[in-house]
Amino acid sequence: MAEISSDIIRGYNDTIILYLLLDGPSYGYELSKRIRANTSEKYIIKETTLYSAFTRMEKNGFIESFTDEVLSGGKKRTYYRITDAGRAYYRAKCEEWNLIKEVIEKFIVT
Amino acid sequence: MAEISSDIIRGYNDTIILYLLLDGPSYGYELSKRIRANTSEKYIIKETTLYSAFTRMEKNGFIESFTDEVLSGGKKRTYYRITDAGRAYYRAKCEEWNLIKEVIEKFIVT
DNA sequence: AAGCGTAGTACGACAGCCGAAGGAACGACA
DNA sequence: TGTCGTTCCTTCGGCTGTCGTACTACGCTT
């Protein structure tokens, strides 16, 4: 089973999360399932990675959190919504990705 | 000037170095120049990153060092040579790259 | 009664990258 | 002669993102 080295995804987890939030607000558990599904189980983000990304990105102003009070059972669930700054960051990351891909592929033999 | 975020190259510096060593032994300063040239100045590896990669990879058995005694002036220059384990690691990293590219690009809008 | 799925938090460790700084040799240039 | 730029490498300490471990807590099924 091909394990994905965390060191390459590092710094792109934020991008992945922001991409999914472009569709509308979501929360941790759901996002983790969407990442799994989206990649056909190839990438399974760790919970701690995910939640620490939330706090980091909220601090950076890329996302905003709110809680859904309607939830039954008193269960807490924190939703996150992408901000304009988050959208801009996402776009910048996409551009960066193309550069990085170009660079790395100069050193990859297929 | 588009700065390359180190967090994505992270973990692929080793791969880049190993690729260049496939051509034959080389040393730090030369490799750094080849990386610059190869990427049209897009990626300029930091010295500390480079030299710490050397020690790490030697510890892991991916490269071997030797010194050229013929050098004039008493200047020390440490050469590195890729090992079979290094070649295998490089090949594995190339495969991993294709997987990672596939994964990340599911979340990138071009 | 045990286990699974949902949903999240806290803590601490690690690894790789990087800034700052230094050193020592050499050639060029003025 | 002095100083600058290039070559070549090293040590040290800090930062950041990831991850392992562990825990809480509810509801449903087996």
pLDDT tens column, B31-64 = 999 999 999 999 999 999 999 999 999 999 999 9
**CA gyration radius for chain A?**
15
Phi, psi of A80 (to 5 degrees): -130, 145
pLDDT for position A2: 55
User: With a threshold of 0.85, does the pTM exceed it?
Assistant: yes
Between B92 and A4, residue with greater pLDDT: B92
pLDDT at A18 over 50: yes
Q: In whole angstroms, give the CA distance from residue A73 to residue A66.
A: 18
Q: CA end-to-end span of chain A, whole Å?
A: 20
Q: In whole angstroms, give the CA distance from residue A33 to residue B63.
A: 40
- For B47, the token pair is 């010295």
Angular region, B89: left φ>0, alpha ψ -120 to 50, beta rest? alpha
pLDDT interval class at A69 (50, 70, 90): low
CA of A42 to C1' of C18 (A): 31
% chain B with pLDDT above 70? 88
Q: Which of A46-55, A68-77, B87-96 has the lowest mean pLDDT?
A: A68-77
**Residue B20: its H or E element:** helix B13-21
* Mean pLDDT for chain B overall: 90
Q: In whole angstroms, give the CA distance from residue B18 to residue A11.
A: 23
Summarize pLDDT for B62-73 with one digit per residue, the tens. 999 998 765 545
DSSP structure string for A37-104: HHTTTS----HHHHHHHHHHHHHTTSEEEEE-TT-GGG---EEEEE-HHHHHHHHHHHHHHHHHHHHH
The reply to whether B10 Cβ lies less than 7 angstroms from strand C is yes
pLDDT for position A11: 85
Task: Pick from A19, A108, A109 the residue to mutate for testing the B interface (most B CBs within 10 Å).
Answer: A108
Q: Residues 24-53, chain B: which have Cβ under 7 A from strand D? A: 27-30, 33, 47-48, 51-52
